Amino acid sequence: MKGVLLLLFSFVVSLSVSAQRTIAMRNIWTRPQVYVLFQGYTIAFTIKDIDKALQLLYETGDTTFGNTCGLDTSGTYKIDLFPGLKMEYRNRVQWILQKGVGAFLLTAGHAYIEDARHRPVRSVICDLKPPSMGGDAVYILFTDPRNEQLLFAGAMSADMYNKDLGID
């Protein structure tokens, strides 16, 4: 009986650990235009990457966000986001990044991240939470491997999980 319980316990622990993985951030060769401020971290994205991710999401049949973010590439945008998905968004870009493509871009490594002391974060730990019953969105937490502090929380369509940006 103890052996069966031990086997069952090790199976449950292995499932929860398998949802975590470390993702290396890639170099962004163009100047980022969108800066997301999240609990002391600054996460920078390019508008080109955001639009490409929105096009991929649109191709999966999700027309919620449209196929472009509508931002001018000559501008610089600073956006505040907070943990949890029940916040009131003041603009469309907050909603797009937290519930649409921000988590996808981070899982693809297409972001530049700095901590509160302006040191670059070269990799993140991605922790996928299982989708809720009847939902197709996966809630993802990203943490800094140096101090295990939350640096981004967002949702991503399950259909986007194995998509490739094709930008590299």
Q: Give the pairing of strands 34-38 and 77-80.
A: parallel
pLDDT at residue number 103: 93
150: closest CA among 38, 59, 30? 38
Q: DSSP assignment of 85-107, as one string?
A: S-SPPSSHHHHHIIIIIHHHHHH
Q: State the average pLDDT for the chain.
A: 83
Inside any domain, residue 123: yes
Task: Please give the model's pTM, rounded to 2 decimal places.
Answer: 0.81
Inside any domain, residue 5: no
Q: How many helices (H) and strands (E) does the chain have?
A: 4, 9
State pLDDT tens for residues 55-81: 999 998 888 888 899 899 899 999 998
* Cβ atoms 157, 57 nearer than 8 A: yes
Inside any domain, residue 128: yes
Q: What is the largest CA-CA distance in the chain?
A: 66
The token pair that represents 119 in the structure block = 């040191």
Inside any domain, residue 3: no
Inside any domain, residue 96: yes
Give the residue numbers spanning the domain of 87: 30-160
State pLDDT tens for residues 100-158: 899 999 999 999 999 999 999 999 999 988 776 667 788 999 999 999 999 999 988 88
What separation, in Å, do the N-terminal and C-terminal C-alpha atoms of the chain show? 52
pLDDT at residue number 13: 42
State pLDDT tens for residues 9-50: 444 444 444 468 899 898 888 899 999 999 999 999 999 999
Inside any domain, residue 7: no
How far is Cα 128 from Cα 160, in angstroms, rounded to an integer? 13
The token pair that represents 114 in the structure block = 């700095």
Q: Give the pairing of strands 20-24 and 34-38.
A: unpaired
Backbone angles phi, psi at 116, to 5 degrees: -65, -25
Inside any domain, residue 106: yes
87, pLDDT greater than 70: no
What is the count of structural domains for the chain? 1
pLDDT at residue number 165: 65
Inside any domain, residue 87: yes
Q: Is 138 exposed, middle or buried (0-12, 13-18, 19+ CB in 10 A)?
A: buried
Task: Find all residues with CB under 8 Å of 13, minimum gap 6, and list them.
Answer: none
